[in-house]
Amino acid sequence: MKQEFHEVLQLKAAPEAVWKTVSDIPTVLSWISIVGSVQEVQPGERYSVVLEDKLGPFRLRADLDIAVRERVEGRSIRATGDGEDRQAGSRLIIEVALDVAEREYGTELDVSGTYEVTGRPAALGAGSIRKKAAKILTEFFASAERSLAP
């Protein structure tokens, strides 16, 4: 099961302030409610993340490797995440792009990407996974707006 997401936040904060925050990967990961822990493996490049949640009869505890694939200072970050929950028999693959652009009102933060869940939970509960993912994304964007407010 693969899904795309995209949201553009219009922020009053200065582009430099937005960049400083969104380029701090542990901070951005803290906006995701199911992130249990983050460990920096290679500063600015690689992170080890544990996702923890419950979805119906499934308890998620997935180890995810996050890699920053591209960073254009002050403008954009491209990252991927790949991991699995061996107990539930599922795999999670994430691709995300964050783009910062100066606008008359302040800053535009464009966040887009895909997530893919495979394995038993995806086969048995695709609708529930979509609903849960939508909730997580809503929480993420609300946290981003709060954190990036001037």
Q: pLDDT (tens digit, 9 = 90+) per residue, 36-45?
A: 999 999 999 9
**What predicted TM-score, i.e. pTM, was given to this entire model?**
0.89
CA distance 87 to 79: 26
Count of domains for the chain? 1
The C-alpha angle with vertex 57 and arms to 90 and 32, in degrees rounded to 5, equals 60
pLDDT tens across 72-107, in order?
999 999 999 999 987 777 889 999 999 999 999 999
- CATH number where 75 lies: 3.30.530.20
Given pLDDT bands bounded at 50, 70 and 90, which one contains residue 133? Answer: confident
Tokens of 18: 């937005």
Is 121 exposed, middle or buried (CB count within 10 Å of its CB: 0-12, 13-18, 19+)?
buried
pLDDT tens across 27-75, in order?
999 999 999 999 999 999 999 999 998 766 667 788 999 999 999 999 9
Residue 74 lies in domain? 2-148
